């Protein structure tokens, strides 16, 4: 295939969005964003320092404590969010394309998760906050108690590069709806698209300081986590980083939500309809070139049908079209960075040196010498204790492990430090539901895996703490206050 060339646009982002304005950075660091499909420069972005983070946090604190945002009603906030929705929706196509160029996400998936979903989430939380009771009165032994739900305060949101827009708005939308203010620190690996949120916020007329955006690396991110004026950290990223953030939040006695890594299992039962399973493999096991925390990269197959399942998975992987993520026919784009490519290739080599059997893929595709491409790869006969079956690879690499009986399948599915996603594939939905209820994971699908933005999402075990999405996400940005009053409040 031939990659699209000549994509020249002015994408540099040399300022930060702080206190409702685009401001010059306080440091001199920059990051050159490279296009995943070509490795060529895409744009340059300023990198924030501790001082930039401090300025953003103080702007957020002023907006909450001194500005109008801390005194807004739910309906007033909903109106602002709806304007924000319209501004983001107007940018959806351009944003989707930009993200695909940054991280290699196939354009169809990017249109859904970086284009449509962020605007949809803002609309959803605008509607929810208007119908969520934020104060109620109940009788008490001494009269009454007024129970209030108030914003938790200033939120530090730290987001990764794999689904940058939707993961940011999964935090921003419920936080703003609840009445919080936000400092967003996007990942340098997708250095350019985060500022689309600033453009849309300015157009929508968000009050100064309500949303602040500072691109920064790990050191400045640590300054955000430890800042004394931050009330909550909302983080999506690796489990290793999540452990450090959780420890700091515990030391500082501040709230945190952590959506971390995964190594999820697809449990294929002996009564599976193989055609349906293969049709769902792309979304379940290979989404976003495998750069998805919920990807079911451990396939557990019954011995009675093991050979045909291995052949089916290998055939699917070999049949995936690898190439330019802006081509709608492409199913697997490049890795997001050269470092990520080297990581994935390293795990493939580890699999080759194990007792596993390579049945598909295994390296870089022919004819794609530029960019960070890797062939979808399948290892069969994998012991569930092997590193390639236990560690999050974050690329298009899956393992297949045989099992005997439903109980062993459940045991193998749970034999992981993670618990984020999963699926069960069967011709008997009730049997699948019974197995799904026994697996310790935060989300799991029966004969498909498709995230529901209206339902809570998060992990168990080392996959995280707390829940995003759905009405339940609002509680993560609200504090409960009890006011003891007289019985007269019961009549109001």
CATH superfamily of 16-260+463-482: Aldehyde Dehydrogenase; Chain A, domain 1 (3.40.605.10)
Taking the alpha carbons at both ends of the chain, their separation in whole angstroms is: 70
- Residue 6: predicted pLDDT: 43
Q: How many CA atoms lie within 13 A of 377 on its CB side?
A: 26
CB 91 within 8 A of CB 47: no
Neighbours of 50 (CB within 10 A): 17
- Residue 322: predicted pLDDT: 98
What are the residue ranges of CATH 3.40.605.10 in the chain?
A: 16-260+463-482
DSSP assignment string, 330-359 = -SB---SSHHHHHHHHHHHHHHHTSS-EEE
Dist. CA 74–CA 176, nearest whole Å: 10
Low-confidence spans in the chain with pLDDT less than 50: 1-9
Q: Please write the tens of the pLDDT for every residue from 340-393.
A: 999 999 999 999 999 999 999 999 999 998 999 999 999 999 999 999 999 999
What are the residue ranges of CATH 3.40.309.10 in the chain?
A: 265-446
CB 266 within 8 A of CB 413: no
Which residues, other chains included, contact 180 with Cβ-Cβ below 8 Å and sequence gap of 6+? Answer: 64, 151, 152, 153, 154, 155, 231, 232, 477
265-268 vs 298-302, strand pairing mode = parallel
The tokens 């890795």 sit on which residue? 335
The DSSP letter of residue 365 is P
Q: Does domain 265-446 have CATH number 3.40.309.10?
A: yes
- Residue 303: predicted pLDDT: 98
pTM: 0.95
Dist. CA 303–CA 109, nearest whole Å: 34
Q: Annotated catalytic sites, by residue?
A: 259
Q: How many CA atoms lie within 13 A of 138 on its CB side?
A: 5
- Residue 492: predicted pLDDT: 82
């Amino acid at each position: 295939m031939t990659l699209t060339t000549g994509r020249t646009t002015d994408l540099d982002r040399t300022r930060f969005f702080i206190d409702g304005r685009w401001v010059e950075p306080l440091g001199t660091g920059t990051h050159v964003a490279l296009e995943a499909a070509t490795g060529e420069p895409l744009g340059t972005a300023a990198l924030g320092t501790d001082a930039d983070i401090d300025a953003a946090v103080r702007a957020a604190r002023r907006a909450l404590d001194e500005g109008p945002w801390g005194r807004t009603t739910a309906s007033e906030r909903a109106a602002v969010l709806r304007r924000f929705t319209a501004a983001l929706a107007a940018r959806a196509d351009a944003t989707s394309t930009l993200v695909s160029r940054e991280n290699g996400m196939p354009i169809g998936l990017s249109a859904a998760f970086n284009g449509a979903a962020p605007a949809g989430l803002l609309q959803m939380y605008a509607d929810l906050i208007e119908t969520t009771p934020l104060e109620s009165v109940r009788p008490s032994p001494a009269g009454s108690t007024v129970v209030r739900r108030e914003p938790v305060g200033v939120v530090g949101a730290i987001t990764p590069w794999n689904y940058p827009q939707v993961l940011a708005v999964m935090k921003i939308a419920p936080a703003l709806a609840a009445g919080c203010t936000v400092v967003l620190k996007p990942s340098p690996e997708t250095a350019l698209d985060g500022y689309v949120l600033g453009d849309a916020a300015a157009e929508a007329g968000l009050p100064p300081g309500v949303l602040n955006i500072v691109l920064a690396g790990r050191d400045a991110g640590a300054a955000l986590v430890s800042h004394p004026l931050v009330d909550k950290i909302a983080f999506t990223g690796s489990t290793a980083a999540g452990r450090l953030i959780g420890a700091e939040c515990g030391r500082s006695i501040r709230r945190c939500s952590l959506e971390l890594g995964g190594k999820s299992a697809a449990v294929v039962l002996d009564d599976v309809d193989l055609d349906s399973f293969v049709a769902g493999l792309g979304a379940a096991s290979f989404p976003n070139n495998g750069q998805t925390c919920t990807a079911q990269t451990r396939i557990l197959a019954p011995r009675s049908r093991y050979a045909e399942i291995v052949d089916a998975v290998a055939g699917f992987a070999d049949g995936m079209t690898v190439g330019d993520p802006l081509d709608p026919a492409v199913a697997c784009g490049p890795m997001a960075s050269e470092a990520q490519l080297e990581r994935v290739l390293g795990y493939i080599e580890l699999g080759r040196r194990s007792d596993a059997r390579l049945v598909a893929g295994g390296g870089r595709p022919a004819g794609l010498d530029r960019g960070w491409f890797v062939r979808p790869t399948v290892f069969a006969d994998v012991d569930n204790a092997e590193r390639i079956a236990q560690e999050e690879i974050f690329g298009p690499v899956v393992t297949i492990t045989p099992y005997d009986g439903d109980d062993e399948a459940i045991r193998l599915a749970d034999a992981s430090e993670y618990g984020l996603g999963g699926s069960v594939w069967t011709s008997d939905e009730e049997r699948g539901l019974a197995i799904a209820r026994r697996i310790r994971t935060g989300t799991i699908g029966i004969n498909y895996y498709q995230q529901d933005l209206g339902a809570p999402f998060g992990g168990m075990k080392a996959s995280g703490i707390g829940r995003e999405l759905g009405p339940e996400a609002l509680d993560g940005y609200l504090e409960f206050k009890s006011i003891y009053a007289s019985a007269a409040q019961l009549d109001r």
